[in-house]
Amino acid sequence: MYKVFVNDIPIILSTQKDFGENYTTFPLKSVKLKRLIKRINKGTIMYVNLYHPDENKLLKLLFKKIKVVTAAGGLVYNEAGEILFIYRNKRWDLPKGKTEKDETIESSAVREVEEETGVEGLEVTHFLRKTYHIFKRKGKFRLKVTHWYEMKTSYEGELRPEITEGIEKAVWKNPEKTRKALTKSYANIKMLFPEKLLARKSEDWVA
């Protein structure tokens, strides 16, 4: 199963024809995706399940229907166990950006975090997950697939938000402030923060 977000509303991709009484199921192979996205944006449909019996084909079929943009970003901890956030478009977010040609996804994640926040000395600890969300650019829908990595740094210098990219702030947040920030964030960002992680003490956040 996958969740593909349109704004903060998830489209479910699954191998289940019946996903629950609230959900309307459409066959993934034949669904008119752009028409469906417009209905979601208008609020005429909220709970959508796109069905196909073969789990291995769920993403392949989706990718045939909409152009994919590959991106990467980081969930960054400092030595105090604080997490690096950016503030843009009136939402708290994590630093991320588009992967460039001939660049590995992991190296693009590090580069984007550095460029958007000014942080230095990043070390990738492990891969977290991919998130999927649909956006509109120049009148056309795109699917952004973001590869997320957990990172750590001992950097204690000044953070420099990338103003040219619309980022107003780049700040470190402790567990309490992180929980508060996530109430004004995006649904796909919240997926990176397991409840058990947020419940832990700040000194336990960094392995």
The H-or-E segment that residue 90 falls in is none
Q: Which domains are seen in the chain, by residue range?
A: 2-65 (no CATH), 71-204 (3.90.79.10)
Residue 8 and residue 5: Cα distance in Å, rounded?
A: 6
Residue 93 and residue 80: Cα distance in Å, rounded?
A: 20
Please, what are the averages of pLDDT over each run of 10 residues along the chain (207 residues)?
95 94 95 96 95 97 97 98 97 97 96 98 98 94 98 98 97 94 95 71 48
DSSP letter, residue 188? H
Residue 41 and residue 1: Cα distance in Å, rounded?
A: 22
What's the pTM value of the predicted model, to 2 decimals?
A: 0.91
The HSE-up count of residue 75 (CA atoms within 13 Å, CB side) is 23
Q: What is the pLDDT of residues 113-153, one digit of tens each?
A: 999 999 999 999 999 999 999 999 889 999 999 999 999 99
As a whole number of Å, the end-to-end CA separation of the chain is 29
- Contact criterion met (CB below 8 Å) for 148 and 186: no
